[in-house]
Structure 1
């Protein structure tokens, strides 16, 4: 039984995007075309691969098994085809990166415009999510994460600023009402805006001064999902809801404008910047190779 490679690719696209419209948006095709391809594949295989409702699309058990095997295989096919890029005047194709919201907000804006200007034939797709994923299974060429969340057996290179800090701040009006903390443990008596990862994990707040590390688990009336909910947390802090603890670069515009007031600044903890990581066991696609070379040529921050 000969199966059309395009139909297989359509199924993987829809399954990963959790919908025909989102899949069409990612690939620049039509939702009806993807639907027809998946229907054709299901008919040929004699088994339903996707459960469809008016609100969502999700793989069946058979579809999930097929997706787990097809993802890496199709990535290898694309990498093999990409070999011909070396015969072109420059790389072409798609670069897919899986990154957290902090990288999409604070790191990539200073890198991607220059890269895309240098390589106009490369199309870039950014998948933003906080949870750590297997980049190959997710259909991405590479990921960007911080050191403690890097996957083993991956090649990793520095990208973006090499040193960052976690900043703590609140609206001046909030601090006028509730007082200004003198020590990190004073935050236990404040309304703190917390962030939760998609896994359900709520990380404690860490502070450091003169080699002494203080870890606390403050409480508060607002808990947001990290990633999409961070801007809401910042807006709430500016409105006087409570204390926020976030990347200094994310808060800097509001610190400079006076909308937020820095607190416990001598305790702000520094940490190493993110890394671009990718599997070294397979052929590196030309768009990714170009991006790696571009990043390596940038001045270190």
Structure 2
């Protein structure tokens, strides 16, 4: 088995061209950290061929094999792992030094890429992004809308927004938007006049409903509070929408197609003007609001600025 000493690596690494060594080492470390060339390329914004060529050039300069490659997998050699372990803290120190220098800048620049579910698009993000752009107008924000569970690092995003039940355990998260949200039921007056207003959750089995389906197949359950416990209602699914269209359901509810279950704050205007009527309001459940999540290491300056805005923007 191949072994290598720290002294050997120090001599060999610094014998590489100084103009290339720092960037090359950073690329190699990202390959090891991300577990592959394609994932590293996405993270770095480089072509996979550029990443592969860089590692091959390093191996030629060092005279050792750093990675074992097959058509389906990649693993570090003993030498590669030793090099990655040695340079990791050095690269982290450089990132921290850059961040400290950037802190002295008068304005934040760059790009912030967020991965969010459709549920937060209309009610949570507009006011937050308005506040963020007001303070940091030179940051470009890109929003990727996905409703499934997403590895934000693999997806090339700086941060994501999800609810507690699907947050990755190795991520840092903070509340964003309303701290709690209530799930409310509502229907058009014409629908309730024609079919009656349910007086208890069990009566929902006789009613038409507008339901949402998750990307992996199941319908979103209707949970209600009754007698101090959570009960599940099974209405008649008259219209089923994908959660990617979650903000379109109110239009169908106003048209009288059936009862809809959605966030209470989305219903406030319709309830106030009478376009929709509350259904079983004493049985509406509450849940925790969405959370911004991101890797714990080395948050870029635009993300740190956005985190600060989120922490100062209390809603609900």
TM class by shorter-chain length?
Answer: 0.7 to 0.9
| 1:134 to 1:255, Cα distance in 2 relative to 1, 3 A | same
| Match in the other structure for 1:85 | 102
- The one-character-per-residue Cα deviations of 1:148-187 (angstroms, maximum 9, x if unpaired) are 1211111111111112100101111111111110011111
**Any gaps of 5 or more consecutive residues in structure 1?**
6-10, 17-26, 28-36, 46-61, 67-75
Which residue of the partner structure matches residue 117 of structure 1?
Answer: 134
1:141 counterpart = 2:150:
no
Shift in CA distance, 210/235, structure 1 to aligned 2, threshold 3 Å: same
1:190 and 1:243 in contact (8 A); partners too: yes
Cα pair 1:255 1:262 within 8 Å, conserved: yes
Mapped to 2, the partners of 1:38 and 1:156 lie a distance apart of 31
Say which SS state the counterpart of residue 120 (structure 1) adopts. Answer: coil
Question: 1:263 aligns to what?
Answer: 279
Structure-2 separation of matches of 1:183 and 1:167: 14
Contact 1:155–1:279 (8 Å) recurs in 2: yes
Please state whether the residue corresponding to 2:133 is helix, strand or coil: helix
Aligned partners of 1:263 and 1:142: how far apart in 2? 36
Query: What is the Cα deviation at residue 120 of structure 1?
Result: 1.3
Deviations 1:184-224 (A, max 9, x none): 11111111111011111212100114522211232222111
Aligned pairs for 1:1-301 (under 5 A) are: 80=95, 83=99, 85-227=102-244, 229-280=245-296, 282-299=297-314, 301=316
Quick check: 175-184 or 216-225, which moved more? 216-225
SS of residue paired to 2:122: helix
TM score, norm. by length of structure 1: 0.72
Structure 2 stretches lacking a partner, 5+ long = 1-19, 28-36, 55-70, 75-90
Q: Offset at 1:264?
A: 0.3
Deviation of residue 232 (structure 1)? 3.4
For the 8 Å contact 1:85–1:92, the answer to whether it is kept is: no
Deviation at 1:272, TM superposition (A): 1.3
Write out per-residue CA displacement over residues 66-99 of structure 1, whole angstroms, 9 at most, x where no aligned residue: 9xxxxxxxxx99x959745335222211111111
Q: Decide which structure has the larger Cα Rg and report it.
A: 2
RMSD of aligned Cα (Å): 3.3
1:198–1:226: 8 Å Cα contact kept in structure 2?
yes
Contact 2:178 / 2:314 at 8 angstroms: preserved in 1?
no
Alignment match, 1:58: none
Provide the C-alpha distance between the structure 2 equivalents of 1:300 and 1:220, rounded to a whole number of angstroms.
Answer: 33
Aligned residues: 248
4+ aligned runs moved over 4 Å, structure 1: 37-41, 79-82
- 8 Å contact 1:100–1:144 — kept in the other structure? yes
The answer to whether the 8 A contact 2:198-2:279 is kept is yes
